Structure 1
Amino acid sequence: MTAQTTTVEAPELASQRIGAATTDRISRVRISLAYLPLAAPISDAKVFAGRQKPLTEIAFLFAEIATEGGYEGIGFGYSKRAGGPGMYAHANEIADKLIGEDPNDIARLWNKLVWAGASMGRSGLTTQTIAAFDIALWDLKAKRAQLPLAKLLGAHRDSVQVYNTSGGYLSMELGQVLDNIDESRGNGIGGIKIKVGQPDTRADLKRVARVRGHLGDGFPFMVDANQQWSRTTAARMGRVLEQFDLTWIEEPLDCYDAAGHAALAASLDTPIATGEMLTSVAEHWNLISAHASDIVQPDAPRVGGITPFLRIAALADHHGLSLAPHFAMEIHLHLAAAYPQEPWLEHFEWLEPMFNERLEVRDGRMFVPNRPGLGFSLSEQALAWTTETRSFTG
């Protein structure tokens, strides 16, 4: 499919109150919508419960920001199953608000963008759209400093322990899951997560027992119910799962059930992890303040970008919680490296065709690249999968 390209000139800034500290301005913003097809349909517990259809593709909103001084940054937001065209439409509405602005004023620009669409709310689609711009601005800032983003933020480590999720979906036969585990471990992955939440909990327990036996004692092992258990089922399953020495149980309940998650976290030795589906700092604060999890799992493209992610990370660290960002390892590697406590990073190889660069994994850890910024650039394949694009200039 050939992408449709249009260029729009932004109106002149209403205010030119920019002082001498401003040495550069945004001159061009380019947005694009692309669809990444998956090799095979993917199903988790939400599909088995009839709530969603199998996942076959991922929509990406890319934002590329250039400045008068010759710097460029790239960021992205994403959506699964629905929302991609909506994100692109909202990006069209707000992209011109960045023209002429100082790209270093990231927090102020985040506020400007969120209030431009505040009648639609300050979470959900609006923040997921803003994420692409915010991430691009952080990428640009780190490139200007000639530093990897982790180093710009202040890294606590140059590598992060990494676990794999993509090989453990419910749509995969158990034999395939075990083969995927062997491949992941052979490639240097340091932890394995599988999906649970089938209608028959006995099938889940059989699957977990087989995987633990295959991994052996002590190897980091997580399970993810994708919000599909009731409070009663989660409590019962949590008690039975204690025997498998799990690193955590993920999303046992609806993501907004702070009281239910708090009760589980208080009653089980196995840590509770949740937060990937939340789309704002406020939603994460509700869980953190309720002591609803032991491990927070913010997703920078979902919460609105790196700016709100850093606020969530500060709240989590203040409460002594562990961090395991969801998906988008290309972004979260840098953010996890800058978290004070030892975090986990989720490995998904799905996004690799979109980028020219690859991330290094060995000895159970993923290493921060020495490339400036986030360290990735769009591949020719990503451009081929692009369906729409639009540029805004001053």
Structure 2
Amino acid sequence: MPHDVIAQITLSHVLLPLKRPISDAKVMTGVQKPLTEVSLTFAEITTRDGHTGMGFGYVLRAGGKAQFAHAQELAPFLIGEDPNDIARLWHKLAWQGASVGRCGVAVQAIGAFDTALWDLKAKRAGLPLAKLLGAQREAVPTYNTSGGYFGTQIEEVCANADRALANGIGGVKMKVGQPDVAEDIRRVVALRKHLGDGVPIMIDANQQWDRTTALRFGRAVDELRLVWIEEPLDAHDYEGHAWLNARLDTPIATGEMLTSEESLRRLIERESVTYLQPDAPRFGGVSPFLNVASAAAQANLKLAPHFVMEIHLPLAAAYRGDTWVEHFEWFEPLFDERIEIRDGSMQLPKGPGFGLTISEQTRHWTVASERFGAS
């Protein structure tokens, strides 16, 4: 009997409004404007035999229309293909867009399909994706970021941290990198004093320092026993992060802004980080993430995937080394299900695949859609 084949693909462009404008160091320094919405490209795949899979990619600020448009170009090349052949299909789509490269939007559009195919494969097997990949754990330590953005007074940051911990979160992250370095340090010290020595705290500079400033700041907060300093330098300064990582007691974390498998491998090869922070939708989906995670494990790195807990939770659960998952509430309205959090960790979903169903509200936020293949 012939293998099952992809019969239909539905693409949707969704604009998710945020409850309040979001500002990090890039806004404080005038590089960007506050974030008010998130653009997403959803891919829903159905096979001839009735199996389904859902995946998505996202864009913060400019680029969402381009991501959706490229996905529209690629979708027809999957119709009639065997959904089991995930690796081959990734490269097939990459070759269709070869003239625009293998990073950024070119692979982010592929990532929506790739993620949907992994969801489909796990659903067909009747397994949560983490179990299909070979889960190392039933729950993954989690930290919250959304309560520590700029525009939030330190008293509110502390209150947000208390609320997160009371709700089962395991640690908290606060933004730094504003022009007033002394104020940054004051805020970090105040949060540590408020929470005490036992609560994991991370800080994120969003690429706003040069090497000298990063070294001085790192030495000033080394005694606070932070879990990591995130993106202290330009995301592509591999040598600078390695230089800094060798000089501070506090671990360095970065990788979220890199949009190709090759660039993330450079961080690993040059010993630039203690915590690698890949973002699966940003560099092509689950397949390239698994490749990078394998290389990171060989280098004995710790893993802290960036954002998108809905995708990264099962991937982190399958990582053999130490790992964290970042907790953001932003995407919760997109799905009917909620990830359970308790005792400092996210619990793996019990349902097959990612265990997610697109909500009716998401349909109302859809600004464009197109269907490919047979009805």
Structure-2-length-normalised TM-score: 0.99
CA distances 1:257-307 after superposition (whole Å, capped 9, x unpaired): 011000111111111000000111100011111111111000010010000
- Tell me, yes or no, if structure 1 residue 245 matches structure 2 residue 225: yes
Amino acid at match of 1:319: A
- Tell me, yes or no, if structure 1 residue 216 matches structure 2 residue 200: no
CA drift at 1:32 = 0.5
RMSD after superposition:
0.8
Match among 52, 59, 73 for residue 79 of structure 1: 59
- Tell me, yes or no, if structure 1 residue 339 matches structure 2 residue 319: yes
CA contact (8 A) 1:30 1:390 kept: yes
Match among 69, 72, 79 for residue 99 of structure 1: 79
Amino acid at match of 1:278: L
Gaps of 5+ in 1: 1-19
CA distances 1:217-274 after superposition (whole Å, capped 9, x unpaired): 1211100000000111001101111011100000000010011000111111111000
2:246 is paired with a residue whose SS is helix
Match among 208, 229, 235 for residue 255 of structure 1: 235
Aligned to 1:132: 112
Superposition pairs for residues 277-316 of structure 1, below 5 Å? 277-316=257-296
Cα distance in 2, alignment partners of residues 160 and 287 from structure 1: 23
Amino acid at match of 2:88: R
Structure 1: 4+ residue segments shifted above 4 A:
none
Cα distance in 1, alignment partners of residues 338 and 29 from structure 2: 35
CA contact (8 A) 1:218 1:245 kept: no
CA drift at 1:137 = 0.2
CA drift at 1:117 = 0.6
1:46 is paired with a residue whose SS is helix
Aligned to 1:229: 209
Aligned to 1:382: 362
Match among 134, 150, 163 for residue 183 of structure 1: 163
- Tell me, yes or no, if structure 1 residue 194 matches structure 2 residue 162: no
CA drift at 1:118 = 1.1
CA contact (8 A) 1:258 1:290 kept: yes
Aligned to 2:334: 354
CA distances 1:348-373 after superposition (whole Å, capped 9, x unpaired): 01100000000000000000011000
Amino acid at match of 2:293: A
Cα distance in 2, alignment partners of residues 61 and 280 from structure 1: 19
Superposition pairs for residues 40-189 of structure 1, below 5 Å? 40-189=20-169
1:78 is paired with a residue whose SS is strand
Cα distance in 1, alignment partners of residues 84 and 194 from structure 2: 49
1:267 is paired with a residue whose SS is coil
Gaps of 5+ in 2: none
CA drift at 1:141 = 0.2
Cα distance in 2, alignment partners of residues 95 and 168 from structure 1: 39
Cα distance in 1, alignment partners of residues 215 and 54 from structure 2: 43
Amino acid at match of 2:142: V
Amino acid at match of 2:50: G
Amino acid at match of 1:81: R
CA drift at 1:343 = 0.5
CA distances 1:94-141 after superposition (whole Å, capped 9, x unpaired): 100000000010000000111111111100111111111000000000
CA drift at 1:215 = 1.0
Cα distance in 2, alignment partners of residues 49 and 202 from structure 1: 15
Aligned to 1:330: 310
Cα distance in 2, alignment partners of residues 107 and 214 from structure 1: 48
Aligned to 1:31: 11
2:333 is paired with a residue whose SS is helix
Cα distance in 2, alignment partners of residues 171 and 68 from structure 1: 51
Aligned to 1:15: none
Cα distance in 2, alignment partners of residues 166 and 50 from structure 1: 21
Q: Percent identity of the aligned residues?
A: 58
Size of the aligned set, in residue pairs, is 374
Cα distance in 1, alignment partners of residues 138 and 322 from structure 2: 11
